[in-house]
Structure 1
Amino acid sequence: MIESQQNGKVKHWSKLKRRKDRMKSNTFLIEGEHLIEEALKSNWIVKELIVLENYNTDWLQQEKVVTTVVSDKIFATLANTENPQGIMAEIEMREEKIQPHFQKVIMLDAIQDPGNAGTIVRTADALGFDAVLFGKGTVDLYNEKVIRATQGSLFHIPVITGDLEDWVYTLKKDGFIVWATALENAQRLEENKPPEKVAVLFGNEGSGVQQELLQLADHRVYIPIKGQAESLNVSIASGIIMYYLQQ
């Protein structure tokens, strides 16, 4: 059992709280039985399990994964949840690419709230979308709050990070119609028939989709608001539009 903060593994796992160190090692941490179960079912590479002493690993007996036991103190320094379940895992990142069979894609332009980003990934997974593209300025996919908000959907749907402008050109060449959410010079959502191949741009919580990307979009759409609310949360808006596109 590891009890020292100076242990090499503990130092390595602690560094994975920082994005730059995650990128260096090409790994990230997840916490809790549900997320680990989803990672294992989805054939992601689980490099190592980190468990508390006396943690019951019976449900993992058929999984051949290196397991390291740590003390309560060590686990507490690594955990991000208020009531840890006693198990974490180091996961290897997986590089995803846009595939020829994709027909419905979500693009996130500088979405900074991890809860919003993770919820959009979860919703895209639930509604059968093919991928979510994280553009520049969007929160890191492997941020622990993003991971928790996906509720395991991170392991079910390709999430790709890169340049949205390049992707828009690539997708258009492949026959995609690009929608962007906007409040000005936009049509009501229901005035636009769902295309066979569609990519939807959702913008920053405060400033919306940047102008350069708006100009590249084929259509600008908005969701009419009937009540007194000034606007919709971006993850809620994305869910409404994704559901509409199922028609």
Structure 2
Amino acid sequence: MNRMKVLVADDDPNVREILRIFFQSHQYDLLEAENGAEAVQLVELENPDIVILDVMMPVMDGFTACREILKKRDVPIIMLSAKGDEFDRVLGLELGADDYVTKPFSPRELMSRIKAIFRRMQRKSGNEEEIRTVYDFGELVIDPERREVVVNGEKCPFRPKEFDLLVHLAKSPGTVFSREQLLEQVWGYDFYGDIRTVDVHIKKLRERLADLRNGYIHTVWGVGYKFEAVTSDDAGD
């Protein structure tokens, strides 16, 4: 079995050393970058399984590196930052990052986030029922196998986490999910306290589906969110 390859980009050599020792002791291969520009290059050269990006780095910051990496590769990204500011968390998630960890953090917490992402990816790759199903709502078609969404006959680009969230909601029309449930079932880890993660991605889904009459993604106040399917007859009214 091939060892998982983790890329850590952080300009603090102490952080990199701590993570190097920890990850290697758990049989992970570690790639290191001192800034965002190096991280972008290493993603192309080494094709890591997951990328961990510090926000504040010289040459190229973590936000810019996240954007550039996702232009080239569909790879999970975890952002690191000494800032606890909500704006930083929201910006990282809107750029397509899968998770956000605030410094100081324990290597074990970071490892648990990584394992949760890998478990989620393995579950989806082995879920034959989901792979064989296409969710067709007329004006909206979701193909999990091809990871494609067609809106009014046109393919619409979705970030990986946005797509996963849309599929999870669409396969259970009418079911109301709390933010905590969505974090656990879509992000793949127990609730850590940042429900804004879900709100940010719901906002992005609504923007993607803004041209559709039904909207599909609905808020159930005080509870959470649900996907409201529309029949072909309703769509034509």
Provide the TM-score with structure 1 as the length reference: 0.29
- Would you tell me which structure has more helix in proportion to its own residues? 2
Higher relative contact order (CA 8 A, sep 6+): 1
Higher Rg of the two aligned structures: 1
